[in-house]
């Protein structure tokens, strides 16, 4: 196992991991925007630049693989200047409307802005703005706040199987958007809200109704009797309720300390059950440990649910896709995940 | 006859690219008369070993002519032959750099020489498919290459089982849609695959995992067009020119304020002074030289002393503070305003930034706006200092070298000829022409002296502590007092603000 020194701390890491991985193991926090463990690294936000001794340029932590004996510095002036440069660039066009932004309080841009940001704006140009686009009833899109990390695009392509959103245009007018202005055609579309590190994609149902720091977050899962579409909700409702004075204000996926989703939740659980009676509150549930076998795509989650519900592909057609996928039996080898057992125990 | 469109006799003769000066070289017949496809025939009929070809190119010391100057033979040898995936050869004809037009000449005038090079390269790395990625604007070049490909296919040089050797090869052209960034090799691969033309992260390098995740070699047009001549005459023939590390000859495209612009083939290591004075005829109309960007717009600007002192090879130009790059020389004489040149360059790069990584996406636009502001006569306070900070924040922090490309020429100009920029900022007009080129962009509703903030000091990067714990503290205190005090002083105590002046009138 290779030995890596991060900020003077020696850690032993498995082969082939990245600097970011090693740093997190050493207890050193490297800021990230575009990095999300669910996707292959894209390296376009450049906030995770670190200094590797022996390499002239700064390297990105999220992609650079470690070598034995590598010495990484994340806490010196050079790295700090680079990060502050990136922060300044990201805030160049950011509207800084945190007081009315629903993401405020759990926003990566806010957090790192406080830590690395330049204390004043050094431009006097008008900020770049984009025309408003409508993403349907559930998702509020505010392109002006976007930092172009592309997590939403990668999530919808890789995990929801829809290529509905993508990058348009080029240079500093590049925009996350779609040619057809419509809701993302997936029963799992709401997850883009959870992967967005800033307030570009927020929950339209919760909009302007509560501040996140007022909410009490409670892990819960949907009652089977309340499910309208069990194929999606069976595995897609291990959620986190945002409660305020006993009322549900929003439902999100469960996230770990790096705000990484544990598993996707379906749109029904996220947007349609604001009644506490529909939910089973789970007291002692492990939120931070990732699901065994890695994150599952929407298709995998649905197929696993069909198997658990005893539905063959051509059986009771609870989901419209079931008719077109007769080979479901062969594919479902997945074991039911741990969240299920806790629910049964209750 | 080195000069495009000019009939003057030159001392330097073309060596590798003799074909450029022969009329009707686009026809297969003419090319074959001048010894064309002889090497390809020989290689196919004798079934020359691949490694032998690679070794010949390696021994010739040929380096990539697209800008980076990586040894071609070495690049070819990186292709893992035990990989079961198909291999690809991509020819990078997406020549979009301002000031560079050498590849266009090859594409339009001697496409067969390029195709022979592509075929030899494809055989050397074991690729059955080669693509020529053409810049979208090269309509004539594309037509010529397609014409030449059709002729070569008909003659049996391309296709299945070429000349009974058992080797299949096919060459396709692909026209870009006008993005400069697609000249970067991984962006080109993305573009060919049908994705957004954006550079990929390296490693993995294309030689291991490129086009459709298969081993891929990307070579410049000039590099590949040189290969047939090297194989024909042997590596010793090619190494007779050039210096120890830069072998052979190089095409230079010269534009700007010179007497005889055009495409020249010059042995590497040729003295720049001799080339500039004898071949190019010196500055246009006998004016004084102000400076040169020697290798296509993305390399550092050179002053006349540095420029005339250097030799025309990779190492020597680098030792003189610039780069050989793609060999696109842009000459400025004394009537050129560098401030204006910098804005034009920045406009190009800000327009061509692909929008993938943060420093380039936001930084290029910022640099452009800053320069435009200076040129409109209403610069921001501390415009120059902030520009240098932005340069530092972009340089070296991006995925591909496009971010560096905006920094290198403009930063070098500002460092080497600072007085012109300072004059423009101070006086609001050009030191050379005496005009404000972008005066129409000035904001008329702003007071005449929009620069009243000159007394105001923006913080520089080094003004702040880099201690993580203290930074948060700094933010809380903030630079607020600086703002209020200065504005207060200006508007009331001195009473010389534009608003106050207007009221007095």
Query: Any CB–CB contact under 8 A between A148 and chain B?
Result: yes
Tokens for A107, please give them: 């926003």
The string of pLDDT tens digits covering residues A159-176 is 999 888 899 999 888 999
Residues in A touching B466 (Cβ below 8 Å): 76-77, 80-81
The list of chain B residues with pLDDT below 50 reads 1-9, 448-449, 452-453, 468-501
Q: Answer whether B88's CB lies under 8 Å from B287's CB.
A: no
Higher pLDDT, A328 or B240: B240
Residues in A touching B398 (Cβ below 8 Å): 46
Check A57 against B396: CB less than 8 A apart.
yes
Q: Answer whether B63's CB lies under 8 Å from B224's CB.
A: no
Q: Answer whether B379's CB lies under 8 Å from B373's CB.
A: yes
Pick the CATH number of B18-239 from 3.40.50.2300, 3.30.1180.10, 3.40.50.11540, 2.120.10.30: 3.40.50.11540
Q: Answer whether A305's CB lies under 8 Å from A248's CB.
A: no
Residue A149 CB-density burial (10 A; 0-12 exposed, 13-18 middle, 19+ buried) = buried
Q: Across residues A7-22, what is the average pLDDT?
A: 91
Tokens for A62, please give them: 């999220």
The string of pLDDT tens digits covering residues A50-107 is 999 999 899 999 999 999 999 999 988 899 889 999 999 999 999 989 999 999 989 9
Q: Does domain A101-118+128-203 have CATH number 3.30.70.20?
A: yes
Tokens for B459, please give them: 């913080």
Q: Across residues A308-321, what is the average pLDDT?
A: 60
Check A75 against B468: CB less than 8 A apart.
yes
Query: Any CB–CB contact under 8 A between B405 and chain A?
Result: no
Q: How far is B428 from chain A (nearest CA, A)?
A: 18
Residue-level pLDDT at B503: 55
Query: Any CB–CB contact under 8 A between B458 and chain A?
Result: yes
Instruction: Write the DSSP assignment of B340-353 as a string of letters.
Output: HHHHHHHHHHHHH-
The pLDDT confidence band at residue A116, using thresholds 50, 70 and 90, is confident
Spatial strand order of the sheet with B88-93 comes to: B170-175, B129-134, B88-93, B216-220
Return the residue of A nearest to B178 by Cα: A170
DSSP B86: P
**Helices marked H in B88-208:** 102-109, 111-125, 139-154, 185-193
Fold of A3-86: Ubiquitin-like (UB roll) (3.10.20)
Q: Across residues A145-151, what is the average pLDDT?
A: 94
Q: B163-177: string of b/e by CB count within 10 Å (b at 16+)?
A: eebebebebebbbbe
Closest CB to A148 among B355, B394, B398: B355
Residue-level pLDDT at A330: 40
Region of A74 please: left (phi>0), alpha (psi -120 to 50) or beta.
alpha
Predicted TM-score (pTM) of the model is 0.86
Check A118 against B369: CB less than 8 A apart.
no
Average pLDDT, chain A: 85
Tokens for B192, please give them: 């060919």
Report the C-alpha gap between A61 and A67 in whole angstroms: 13
Higher pLDDT, A326 or B110: B110
Query: Any CB–CB contact under 8 A between A217 and chain B?
Result: no
Check B364 against A174: CB less than 8 A apart.
no
Residues in B touching A84 (Cβ below 8 Å): 393, 461
Closest CB to A171 among B364, B464, B471: B364
The CATH number assigned to the domain with range B338-455 reads 1.20.1440.230
Query: Any CB–CB contact under 8 A between B41 and chain A?
Result: no
Residue-level pLDDT at B144: 95
Q: B57-73: string of b/e by CB count within 10 Å (b at 16+)?
A: bbbbbbbbbbbebebbb
Closest CB to B359 among A89, A167, A170: A89
Q: How far is A205 from chain B (nearest CA, A)?
A: 31
Q: How far is A121 from chain B (nearest CA, A)?
A: 9
Give me the phi and psi of A333, to 5 degrees please.
-110, -10
Question: Nearest to residue B64, comparing CAs of B281, B254, B351, B295?
Answer: B295
Q: Answer whether A154's CB lies under 8 Å from A39's CB.
A: yes
Q: Is the dihedral of CA A87, A92, A95, A96 positive or negative?
A: positive
Residues in B touching A92 (Cβ below 8 Å): 362, 366
- Domain B249-333 - what CATH class? alpha beta
Closest CB to B397 among A49, A63, A171: A49
Residues 168-227 of B with CB under 8 A from A: 179, 196, 201
Q: Is the dihedral of CA A308, A314, A318, A319 positive or negative?
A: positive
Check A170 against B353: CB less than 8 A apart.
yes
Report the C-alpha gap between A242 and A314 in whole angstroms: 38
Residues 68-87 of A with CB under 8 A from B: 75-77, 80-82, 84-86
Report the C-alpha gap between B397 and A291 in whole angstroms: 34
Check B357 against A90: CB less than 8 A apart.
no
Check B466 against A89: CB less than 8 A apart.
no
The residues facing B251 across adjacent strands are B265
Residues in B touching A98 (Cβ below 8 Å): none
Query: Any CB–CB contact under 8 A between B397 and chain A?
Result: yes
Return the residue of A nearest to B390 by Cα: A85
Q: Strand B88-93 and strand B216-220: pairing?
A: parallel
The string of pLDDT tens digits covering residues B81-118 is 888 999 999 999 999 999 999 999 999 999 999 999 99
Domain ranges of chain B: 18-239, 249-333, 338-455, 464-504
Q: How far is B483 from chain A (nearest CA, A)?
A: 10
Domain ranges of chain A: 3-86, 101-118+128-203, 215-345
């Amino acid at each position: 196992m290779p030995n890596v020194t991060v900020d003077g701390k020696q850690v032993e890491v498995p082969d082939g991991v990245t600097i970011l991985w090693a740093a997190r193991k050493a207890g050193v926090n490297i800021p990230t925007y575009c990095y999300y463990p669910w996707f292959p690294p894209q390296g376009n936000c450049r906030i995770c630049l670190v200094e590797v001794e022996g390499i002239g340029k700064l390297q990105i932590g999220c992609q650079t693989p470690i070598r034995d004996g590598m010495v990484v510095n994340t806490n010196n002036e050079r790295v700090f200047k680079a990060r502050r440069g990136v922060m300044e660039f990201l805030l160049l066009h950011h509207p800084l409307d945190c007081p009315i932004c629903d993401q405020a309080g759990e926003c990566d841009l806010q957090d790192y802005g406080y830590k690395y940001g330049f204390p004043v704006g050094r431009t006097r140009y008008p900020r770049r703005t984009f025309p408003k686009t409508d993403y349907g009833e559930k998702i509020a899109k505010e392109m002006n706040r976007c930092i172009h990390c592309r997590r939403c695009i990668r999530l919808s392509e890789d995990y929801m199987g829809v290529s509905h959103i993508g990058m348009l245009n080029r240079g500093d007018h590049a925009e996350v958007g779609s040619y057809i202005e419509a809701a993302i055609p997936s029963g799992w579309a709401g997850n883009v809200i959870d992967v967005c590190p800033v307030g570009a994609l927020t929950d339209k149902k919760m909009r302007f109704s509560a501040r996140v720091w007022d909410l009490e977050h409670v892990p819960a899962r949907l009652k089977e009797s309340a499910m309208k579409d069990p194929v999606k909700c069976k595995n897609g409702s291990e959620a986190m309720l945002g409660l305020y004075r006993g009322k549900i204000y929003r439902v999100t996926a469960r996230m770990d300390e790096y705000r990484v989703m544990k598993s996707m939740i379906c749109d029904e659980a996220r947007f349609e059950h604001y009644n506490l009676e529909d939910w089973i509150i789970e007291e002692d549930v492990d939120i931070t440990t990732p699901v065994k076998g890695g994150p599952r795509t929407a298709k995998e989650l649905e197929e696993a649910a069909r198997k658990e519900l005893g539905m063959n592909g051509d059986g009771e057609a609870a989901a419209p896709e079931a008719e077109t996928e007769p080979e479901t039996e062969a594919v479902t080898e997945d074991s039911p995940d741990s969240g299920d057992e806790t629910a049964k125990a209750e | 006859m080195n000069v495009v469109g000019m009939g003057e006799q030159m001392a330097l003769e073309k060596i590798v690219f003799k074909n450029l000066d022969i009329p009707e070289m686009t026809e297969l017949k003419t090319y074959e008369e001048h010894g064309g496809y002889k090497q390809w025939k020989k290689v196919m009929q004798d079934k020359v070993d691949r490694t032998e070809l690679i070794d010949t190119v390696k021994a010739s010391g040929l380096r990539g002519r697209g800008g980076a100057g990586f040894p071609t033979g070495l690049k070819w040898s990186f292709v893992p032959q035990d990989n079961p995936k198909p291999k690809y050869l991509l020819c990078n004809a997406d020549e979009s750099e301002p000031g560079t037009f050498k590849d266009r000449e090859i594409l339009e005038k001697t496409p067969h020489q390029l195709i022979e090079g592509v075929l030899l390269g494809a055989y050397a790395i074991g690729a059955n498919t080669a693509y020529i990625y053409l810049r979208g604007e090269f309509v004539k070049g594309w037509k010529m290459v397609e014409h030449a490909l059709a002729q070569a296919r008909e003659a049996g040089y391309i296709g299945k089982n070429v000349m009974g050797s058992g080797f299949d090869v096919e060459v396709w052209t692909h026209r870009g849609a006008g993005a400069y960034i697609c000249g970067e090799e991984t962006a080109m691969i993305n573009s060919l695959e049908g994705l957004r033309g954006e550079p990929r992260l390296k490693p993995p390098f294309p030689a291991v995992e490129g086009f459709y995740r298969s081993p891929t070699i990307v070579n410049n047009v000039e590099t590949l067009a040189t290969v047939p001549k090297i194989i024909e005459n042997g590596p010793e023939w090619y190494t007779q020119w050039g210096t120890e590390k830069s072998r052979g000859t190089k095409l230079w495209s010269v534009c700007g304020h010179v007497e005889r612009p055009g495409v020249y083939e010059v042995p590497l290591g040729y003295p720049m002074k001799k080339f500039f004075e004898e071949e190019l005829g010196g500055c246009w109309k006998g004016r004084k030289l102000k400076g040169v960007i020697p290798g296509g717009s993305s390399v550092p600007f050179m002053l006349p002393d540095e420029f005339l002192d250097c030799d025309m090879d990779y190492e020597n130009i680098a030792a003189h503070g610039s780069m050989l790059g793609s060999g696109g020389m842009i000459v400025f004489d004394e009537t050129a305003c560098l401030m204006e040149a910098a804005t034009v360059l920045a406009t190009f790069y800000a327009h061509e930034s692909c929008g993938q990584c943060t420093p380039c996406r936001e930084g290029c636009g910022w640099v452009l706006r800053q320069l435009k502001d200076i040129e409109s006569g209403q610069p921001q306070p501390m415009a120059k200092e902030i520009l240098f900070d932005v340069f530092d924040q972009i340089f070296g922090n991006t995925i591909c070298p496009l971010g560096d490309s905006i920094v290198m020429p403009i930063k070098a100009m500002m460092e080497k000829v600072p007085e012109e920029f300072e004059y423009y900022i101070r006086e609001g007009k050009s030191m050379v022409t005496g005009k404000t080129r972008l005066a129409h962009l000035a904001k008329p509703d702003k007071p005449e002296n929009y620069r009243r903030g000159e007394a105001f000091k923006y913080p520089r990067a080094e003004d702040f502590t880099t201690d993580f714990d203290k930074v948060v503290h700094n933010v809380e205190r903030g630079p607020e007092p600086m703002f209020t005090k200065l504005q207060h002083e200006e508007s009331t105590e001195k009473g010389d603000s534009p608003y106050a002046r207007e009221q007095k009138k």
